[in-house]
Amino acid sequence: MFLTRRFYIVLAAITIVTALGFAFPPLFGVGKFMLLLLAAALLADILMLFHKKGITARRDCADRFSNGDDNTIRIIISNSFALRLSAIIIDEAPVIFQRRNIKYHLPLPAKTTSETSYSLRPVVRGTYHFGRLRIFVRTPLTLVERRYTQAEEKEVKVYPSFLMLNHYELLAMSNNLLEMGIKRIRRVGNNTEFEQIKAYVPGDEYRTINWKASARRHELMVNVYRDERSQRIYSVIDKGRVMQQAFDKMTLLDYSINAALVLSHIAIRKDDKAGLITFAEKVDTMLAPSSRPTQMQHILEALYAEQTSFGETDFSALCTNINRSISKRSLLILYTNFSGLGSLHRQLAYLKLLNNRHRLLVVFFEDAELQTYISSDKQTTEDYYRHVIAEKFAYEQRLIVSTLQQHGILSLLTTPKNLSVDVINKYIELKQRQILS
């Protein structure tokens, strides 16, 4: 039981009135009467709150959280008292969020169940620990409050962004991928097979319109062609110190993991085989490509515990393992980062070896904050010097793209925010232009 602030305010007022009674005697009697009323109200408040348990509550959240996404936590409270109460709810969220404001005021009508919710956005994969629910309940008198400790402690695992998979899935089902920036790439060549006829949607190629079917159905119908199937797609993720850099509180490694997860899902949906390789000083994970329905779960579990290291990435070990383990020509999508031309030249020989036996796409990151700084106004001489240095770094990134192109290596320079969309667009482009093999 806790005495509320209102109780102490009323008690202080009674004390003042009683003290004034020494100067004005009638007030002394008024003070004593008010004190009796306060005691009676306090006793009634205690009896109303403590004559039975009355309150039950639970926390409803998923057993797995999606990294980088808003995950909803619901709190459900049942009031079995025959009077209206008010509650203050404090949820002991995992300490990694550093949230001290998960505190809610909620009215509790008599004999009803109420609900409130909030969301948490994790930016680090791992296991998070929820504590208990602390609920402080008051009657309309608001003189005392009763504390309830509800809900069991719970551990939640934070996985790579599987909510993003559901989002892309729904967009694909409703043909709204264009809203996310997923482009429809015009087909070239004749290496496709007819699959079905469907209704025209904005973005379909006009040359695929089936005029006979359109005349029969009195609406535009288009032919759908099937691309070459069962190609092998590997997401190769660098876990070295270059991937420690953070953007919007998430590391480049986490952005790469989320993009690799989405791309693997899209590839399997397009009947390709998705695989996974992670490496730093050595190759840590090598998951054989597959198009089975269980493959996404294997990829998700493999990516769950991956962490960056502070060592230098060893591309020679990557080449050795890929040449020994992967015999069929595959598309290798390498997620890495280069600090400058010097770091590229140290790894260029290994990238060329990989590209000779396979089709290699190097995905690396444009510094979005650097671009924002370059576009900002220059006020002082020092600002001009800083902008020149920043523009030099940005120019080197463009030189990296052209250097890779000169050696026949595909490349994609993108920001962390646009990584998933840009990688999917590039994959669709390569697939529909029949250059994966």
> pLDDT (tens digit, 9 = 90+) per residue, 135-154?
999 999 889 999 999 888 89
pLDDT at 231: 85
Over residues 243-261, the mean pLDDT reads 87
pLDDT at 437: 56
pLDDT at 424: 87
The residue whose two tokens read 């994609």 is 412
Over residues 7-20, the mean pLDDT reads 91
Over residues 179-205, the mean pLDDT reads 62
| The most confident of 107-111, 158-162, 171-175, by mean pLDDT | 107-111
Over residues 334-338, the mean pLDDT reads 91
Angle at 66 between CA 62 and CA 68, to 5 degrees: 140
Mean pLDDT, rounded, of the chain: 84
Residue pair 241/272 in contact (Cβ under 8 Å)? The answer is: no
For residue 177, pLDDT beyond 70: no
pLDDT at 76: 93
pLDDT at 175: 42
Q: Are strands 85-91 and 133-138 parallel, antiparallel or unpaired?
A: antiparallel
The pLDDT tens digits of the residues spanning 379-400 come to 788 877 787 877 777 778 888 9
For residue 206, pLDDT beyond 70: yes
Over residues 87-115, the mean pLDDT reads 87
pLDDT at 4: 87
Residue, of 185 and 386, whose pLDDT is higher? 386
Alpha-carbon gap, residue 352 to 346, rounded angstroms: 12
Quickly count: other Cβ atoms within 10 Å of residue 173's Cβ.
Answer: 9
pTM above 0.85, yes or no: no
pLDDT at 129: 92
Sheet with 154-159, strands from edge to edge, namely 64-66, 154-159, 126-130
pLDDT at 196: 79
SS (H, E, C) the chain: CEECHHHHHHHHHHHHHHHHCCCCHHHHHHHHHHHHHHHHHHHHHHHHHHCCCCEEEEEECCCEEECCCCEEEEEEEEECCCCCEEEEEEECCCHHHCCCCCEEEEEECCCEEEEEEEEECCCCCEEEEECCEEEEEECCCCCEEEEEEECCCEEEEEECCHHHHHHHHHHHHCCCHHHHCCCCCCCCCCCCEEEEEEECCCCCCHHHECHHHHHHHCCCEEEEEECCCCCEEEEEEECCHHHHCEECCEEHHHHHHHHHHHHHHHHHHCCCEEEEEEECCCEEEEEEEECCCCHHHHHHHHHHCCCCCCCCCCHHHHHHHHHHHCCCCCEEEEECCCCCHHHHHHHHHHHHHHHHHCEEEEEEECCHHHHHHHCCCCCCHHHHHHHHHHHHHHHHHHHHHHHHHHCCCEEEEECCCCHHHHHHHHHHHHHHCCCCC
Residue pair 331/382 in contact (Cβ under 8 Å)? The answer is: no
For residue 215, pLDDT beyond 80: yes
Burial of 107 (0-12, 13-18, 19+ CB in 10 A): exposed
Residue pair 197/210 in contact (Cβ under 8 Å)? The answer is: yes
Alpha-carbon gap, residue 268 to 231, rounded angstroms: 10
Lowest mean pLDDT among 259-263, 307-311, 431-435: 431-435
The residue whose two tokens read 């967009």 is 171
pLDDT at 167: 59
> What is the per-residue burial (b if ≥16 Cβ within 10 Å, else e) of 243-277?
bebebeebbbbbbbbbbbbbbbbbbbebebbbbbb
Alpha-carbon gap, residue 353 to 404, rounded angstroms: 13
pLDDT at 185: 45
Quickly count: other Cβ atoms within 10 Å of residue 432's Cβ.
Answer: 20
Residue pair 284/305 in contact (Cβ under 8 Å)? The answer is: no
The pLDDT tens digits of the residues spanning 350-384 come to 999 999 989 999 999 887 677 777 777 877 888 77
Over residues 8-24, the mean pLDDT reads 89
pLDDT band at 24 (very low <50, low <70, confident <90, very high): confident
The pLDDT tens digits of the residues spanning 217-236 come to 888 998 887 655 578 999 99
Q: Which of 113, 93, 209 is nearest to 158 (CA)?
A: 93
